[in-house]
Amino acid sequence: MSLRLRFNPGNSILFLLLILLLMVLTVTSGCQPSQEPPVGPVQLEIVKNDSGYQLLRNGEPYTIRGAGMAVDDLAAFAARGGNAIRTWTTGDDDGDMLSLLDRAHEHGVSVALTLPMRAERHGFDYDDADAVAEQLAFMRAEVERLRDHPAALFWIIGNELNHSYRNPAVWNAVNDVARMIHEVDPGRLATTGLAGASAAVLADLAERAPDLDFVSFQVYGPIFGLAEHLDDIGFDQPFMITEWGTIGWWEMEQTTWGAPVELTSSEKADAFLRAQRETLVLLADRLIGSYAFVWGQKQERTPTWFSLLTERGEQTEAIDVLEYIWTGSWPEQRAPRVNAMSLNGQGARDHVILLAGQTYPAVFDVTSPFDGQLGFRWEIKPESQASEVGGDFEQPIANLAGIIADPHLPATELAVPEPGAYRLFAYATDEHNRAAHSNIPLLVVEGYTQSEQALVDGEVMAVAYSGFREGQHPDRGDGAVNPSRDEILEDLNLLVANDFRLIRVYDAGDNSRTTLELIREHDLPIRVLLGTWLRAELSNHEGCPWLDDPIPDAELAENVIENAAEIERGIALAREFDDIVVAVNVGNEALVDWTDHLVELDQVIAYVRQMREAIAQPVTVAENYEWWIRDGAPLARELDFLGVHTYPAWEERGIDEGLSYTVENMMGVRSAFPDKPLAILEAGWATTASQFGERASEAAQRRYFLELDRWARLTNTTVFFFAAFDEPWKGSADDPNDAEKHWGLFFVDRTPKKVLQPD
């Protein structure tokens, strides 16, 4: 980019003559100087010396100790060592701009003025010549209105015009404004504030806006790699950073439901100090000024995210850091420091999910550097639904009342509101009007509370396991192709390594026996919900979508014999491995309307009674939630607990409804059987599915797993997540993306999916 390093001694003489003329006019007209804004020339230039680039103001080196400021807090700002602010407008919407300039001048503070050039993302068309010309005329009027004020430092043409832009003609318009500024206000410089430091955008500027005097960057998280980035793209010219501060909400990790995690006020202060030491100092040879964001209070996803002041005007710890950066000394009085904030024993990064109607403890742990009483306050708000970007205006969110037991204590209780997404805020303020703050996003869902005795073997998250690999399958009529002992052992060790201590197997055949034997032989910390598979005793060809023809009577008769044998095998395994088998499931979806292996309800009850009389372990049956609610009462009376299946994705629910729909299903079963323990024996999310389209993904599976895990822990509900490994033998042989094949937490080659990978 071509930079204009502007300084013309002739212009300085002209300005001095102008001052003398104005003084004469003032005296001869009898006007009082105090009634007019202070007038005086400002001459800026950028010079290069042995140490790099230097900004000169009226011929003297000028070091910017800056922050963005939208409201008048100039006295406090100057007292902390600040000497330069920037605005985001020249207009009077937030107050009289000339009055702000007067006040700044009184406190020895300069003002970088932003000409409010319209962004393409707001609908402005830079191919509309008339609109562009009208905007340029407005800019000229603003420059002419404010140019004579000595507090005005330089002009920022627009703010983040590259944010979501497509039309490079915007930079031609920027150049026209820069050229106009050099004509109308030749002593000052012109820049534009870019979102980030894109090499492509800089190339566009170099070509289309050569009249800019320097470029300015606005960076948050990427500030920590800015020095290396500028070196990588070969940018070695003078520049400013016109916004920097905490990590942006778009750069932070999110909860599973999409709420960004905000740093505490102390973590933000640490980020400011780190940015100074790791970036701003390293760039001193090119960095001619920087402005921290934002000295004031601004709603952007939260009321505290970028705000150096609270809504009540309290100063935060980041201001202490700025004072240290600007003056070299720490303030005598330091702000309180956040140690931790917890809600129900969890922090902001723990994807906090709570049950509606319950009460949970909240604690704010803060240290004050000085003696004195801290005042506390708690607030809770609905989670922001804002979609604005680039710092666009967001409507403040009102607090909810009557939810926090005592909002003035460091430890209190939260009476959780109705289902929805919320954010809990905590503040601690000292007698010097300095504050610490933190917040936790939370998701409130419906639920019930079971005793811990309702958990299967005390476990919450378990997994369904079959172990069949590529080319392997259970008996399809011509015999099974089972995994080897080594392959099953490999699987079991993988599950242990990923903290699964409880698995579900589906039958009492050879594969299950091998699994139990290996657990015992290798003393693996795994317990088993043993299954007994019931084959069709009735032909459900009219109800099952994939049964085209009736099942032959002879086959049905053979199945009755085989089912009796399966029950006996299950009894034998439960007795032989009573130290490993913690419960037994009789049948799997053998009663639902659409099953291809239908068994009459009375016969299932008979099998259950036979099993319960023969073994000591609890007995259950696995069926879809809907069947339990509608038809399950006779069977429920026979069981120790109910095994429920629920699959939101099969019922056309997206991941945003995944947990809530699962909970709705479970609440329905709970309402039907309020005194019967419940366990989810199957729930999962496919990662690839031609039937589901974009609803299937590894990200969705991870979210569903995490959210279901948190809900299950609150309700003491064991969940067998389906399934441990992808099962390519299932579903359509002609469709490799059939949903049935892709429910695993691991791929079929045993590599983990995102749900099991570190964050």
Q: Are residues 466 and 440 in the same domain?
A: no
What are the CA-CA distances from residue 592 to residues 241, 532, 599, 625, 632 (Å)? 64, 17, 9, 10, 10
The model's pLDDT over 406-464, given as tens digits with 9 standing for 90+, comes to: 999 999 999 999 999 999 999 999 999 999 999 999 999 999 999 999 999 999 999 99
What average pLDDT score do residues 719-743 get?
96
Last residue of a domain, one of 445, 478, 503: 445
The CATH number assigned to the domain holding 125 equals 3.20.20.80
The model's pLDDT over 662-719, given as tens digits with 9 standing for 90+, comes to: 999 999 999 999 999 999 999 999 999 999 999 999 999 999 999 999 999 999 999 9
Q: Are residues 500 and 434 in the same domain?
A: no
The model's pLDDT over 567-601, given as tens digits with 9 standing for 90+, comes to: 999 999 999 999 999 999 999 999 999 999 999 99
What average pLDDT score do residues 525-553 get?
96
Q: Are residues 215 and 152 in the same domain?
A: yes
At 477, the pLDDT band (50, 70, 90 cuts) reads: low
Total tally of structural domains belonging to the chain: 3
Q: What is the pLDDT of residue 371?
A: 76
Q: What is the pLDDT of residue 610?
A: 98
Q: What is the pLDDT of residue 759?
A: 78
Is the bond preceding residue 421 a cis peptide, omega within 30 degrees? no
Instruction: Please give the share of the chain, as a percent, with pLDDT higher than 70.
Output: 94
At 95, the pLDDT band (50, 70, 90 cuts) reads: confident
CA distance 679 to 625: 11
Q: What is the pLDDT of residue 36?
A: 38
Is position 92 within any domain? yes
Q: Are residues 612 and 750 in the same domain?
A: yes
The model's pLDDT over 215-257, given as tens digits with 9 standing for 90+, comes to: 999 999 999 999 999 999 999 999 999 999 999 999 999 999 9
Copy the structure tokens of residue 198.
Answer: 């894109």
**Residue 477 or 379, more confident:** 379
Exposed e or buried b per residue across 628-639, where buried means at least 16 C-beta atoms within 10 angstroms of its C-beta? bbeebeebbebb
Is position 333 within any domain? no
CA distance 650 to 628: 18
Last residue of a domain, one of 414, 445, 476: 445
Question: At 618, is the secondary structure helix, strand, or coil?
Answer: coil
Q: What is the pLDDT of residue 9?
A: 34
Instruction: Please answer whether residues 739 and 696 qualify as being in contact, where contact means their C-beta atoms are separated by less than 8 angstroms.
Output: yes
Copy the structure tokens of residue 376.
Answer: 């506390």
Give the pTM: 0.89
Q: What is the pLDDT of residue 699?
A: 97
Q: Are residues 435 and 467 in the same domain?
A: no
The model's pLDDT over 13-61, given as tens digits with 9 standing for 90+, comes to: 333 333 333 333 333 333 333 333 344 668 999 999 999 999 999 999 9
Is position 453 within any domain? no
Q: Are residues 420 and 483 in the same domain?
A: no
What average pLDDT score do residues 482-498 get?
98
Last residue of a domain, one of 445, 467, 502: 445
DSSP designation for 297: -
Query: In angstroms, how far apart are the furthest CA atoms of the chain?
Result: 121
Domain of residue 414 covers 359-445
Q: Are residues 210 and 247 in the same domain?
A: yes
Is position 451 within any domain? no
The CATH number assigned to the domain holding 413 equals 2.60.40.10
Q: Are residues 440 and 478 in the same domain?
A: no
Residue 58 CB partners (closer than 8 Å, separation 6+): 41, 42, 43
Sheet holding 359-367, edge to edge: 337-343, 359-367, 411-415
Is position 616 within any domain? yes
Is position 46 within any domain? yes
Q: Are residues 470 and 411 in the same domain?
A: no
Question: At 265, is the secondary structure helix, strand, or coil?
Answer: helix
Q: Are residues 559 and 496 in the same domain?
A: yes
Q: Are residues 623 and 648 in the same domain?
A: yes
What average pLDDT score do residues 92-114 get?
92
Is position 523 within any domain? yes
Is position 395 within any domain? yes
Instruction: Please answer whether residues 372 and 281 qualify as being in contact, where contact means their C-beta atoms are separated by less than 8 angstroms.
Output: no
Residue 697 CB partners (closer than 8 Å, separation 6+): 655, 687
Q: What is the pLDDT of residue 13?
A: 39
CA distance 65 to 71: 17
Q: Are residues 208 and 66 in the same domain?
A: yes
